[in-house]
Structure 1
């Protein structure tokens, strides 16, 4: 049996990304938020989206828990499933960029290799890695979802930061520290760095 993929021929559409960006009057980007559970990724992504939406930018948030309830509900939290989780999200994010949308992804995405794959897939110019930096002890003290308590009790296995590693970005495009700065201060830092990159 031959490789069935040789029979897959992508269709070239009449309307492309450049036309969609021109219509929306801004560049499409992936804003990839990475950080420990409880670092503030989803909250910060939500605040940023509210700001961008208010300015007329076309945006969409892909959030870890929401995606795991639908598209990726067949995946567990093994290293292999985590890699597949990020691969699928990378492919979906690429589609959003082609649609001319600014997509904000809020995933722990603990492995450098997987984040590098996402960047390579969509292209360096379209990928902005945002490290939401917050020490483990602060995230664990917040424990907004009660997950660290369960992980410490052995009820959750392979939990990032406890018995599974988080490989911090060495050179993120943007780094904000939610332990040392307020969410509003982090938001201001993001806006300052991002707006010049998404304007046409």
Structure 2
């Protein structure tokens, strides 16, 4: 009897490529445009691709650019591996929605919880941008995928795909909530009550010796 094949698992490159494909499908942007206008300039800035272009002819530069586009197309088609050094820069040029989902999945693959560092206001270093509006959008996405909760219970009769979608939306919102809590504390020094209470609890830092 033939052994069952192992299910394909996500890799860092597959997560990035899938998010890029979803972005291209949602926006109608072409792979060529993505490579030319987003990816290649960012890779050049980061020093990850370099043709040694000082003093070269325009035709040489165009040919080099076309080779870069074809390489990106082959990566997207899974015909050639996505270079590990490209992954962070590649994610950085995706629109925020797709960039954040990539970051969440890559963190999860390392056993980590994705919580972005706060974005500081350019005018006042001690201030941080509020992102309640983003949390509101994420809550709307939770409600839009809340069908499994409509009968008041979760059980084995719930549609597994619908439950997975709800779990994913809840997890995304949780990441934004954690970030906003950090935003407030870093800008104002005010922490949630539970943190202050736990910090002063006699149980804080207590380690019981093994029996």
Calculate the TM-score normalised by the size of structure 2.
Answer: 0.24
Task: Compare the two structures and name the one with the higher helix fraction.
Answer: 2
Structure index of larger Rg: 2
Q: Which has the higher contact order (CA 8 A, sep 6+)?
A: 1
Task: Compare the two structures and name the one with the higher strand fraction.
Answer: 1
